[in-house]
Amino acid sequence: MRHSVDEMKEQRYQDQFAGQQKQIQDITNILKQTLDTIADLKKGSTGRSEMDIIHEIITGVKEEASGARKDIKEAFTSSSLPPGKTAQERESRKKRVKGALKTDQERISRKHSVHQDFLHQRVAKRGKPERNKRGRPSKPTRILRKSVSGSSFPRVEI
């Protein structure tokens, strides 16, 4: 029995020793990485930084800007405008626009007059609109007003 207890103790010591060795190895790796980082910081910056790249781009743009301005100016001055309209073309265009406006106004006035006639006929059939206690038009008249005000025609008081 002593022999088995001694073996168990020995096994436990070996496990503890292996765990401690692993911890030491992990700490050693972390220490190496830290020392490498410190050594890199001591060396100083090599290569180009972001500011160097930005400075290079800006100086390149400044140098090319004057040439680009010339190119843009030449592009605008070299492009020719379409030829001007003659007096006859202007007059024909005016007539077409005025004719279109006139036909639109006639259509609108026709629709408006038809709608007005409908409303007047409806009022003539019913007579004078009834009023409630508050002096407002009764419900059927209000419904008619809502239908008129919701349309594209001007509101008509009955």
Mutual angle of helices 87-126 and 139-149, in 10-degree steps = 170
Considering the domain boundaries, does residue 77 fall inside one? Answer: no
Considering the domain boundaries, does residue 32 fall inside one? Answer: yes
Considering the domain boundaries, does residue 57 fall inside one? Answer: no
Considering the domain boundaries, does residue 61 fall inside one? Answer: no
C-alpha–C-alpha distance, residues 13 and 29, integer Å: 24
| Contact call for residues 136 and 157 (beta carbons, < 8 A) | no
Considering the domain boundaries, does residue 71 fall inside one? Answer: no
pTM confidence score: 0.28
What pLDDT is stored for residue 85 in this prediction? 84
Considering the domain boundaries, does residue 139 fall inside one? Answer: yes
The CA dihedral of 108, 109, 111, 113, to the nearest 10 degrees, is 160
C-alpha–C-alpha distance, residues 25 and 20, integer Å: 9
pLDDT tens for each residue of the chain, 158 residues long: 888 889 999 999 999 999 999 999 999 999 999 999 888 888 766 677 788 888 888 888 777 777 777 777 777 776 666 677 888 999 999 999 999 999 888 888 887 777 777 666 666 666 665 666 777 766 555 455 555 444 555 554 54
Considering the domain boundaries, does residue 79 fall inside one? Answer: no
Considering the domain boundaries, does residue 33 fall inside one? Answer: yes
124, 115, 120, 119: which is closest to 153 by C-alpha? Answer: 115
Q: Determine the structural domain holding residue 132 and report its residue range.
A: 91-158
- What's the domain count of the chain? 2
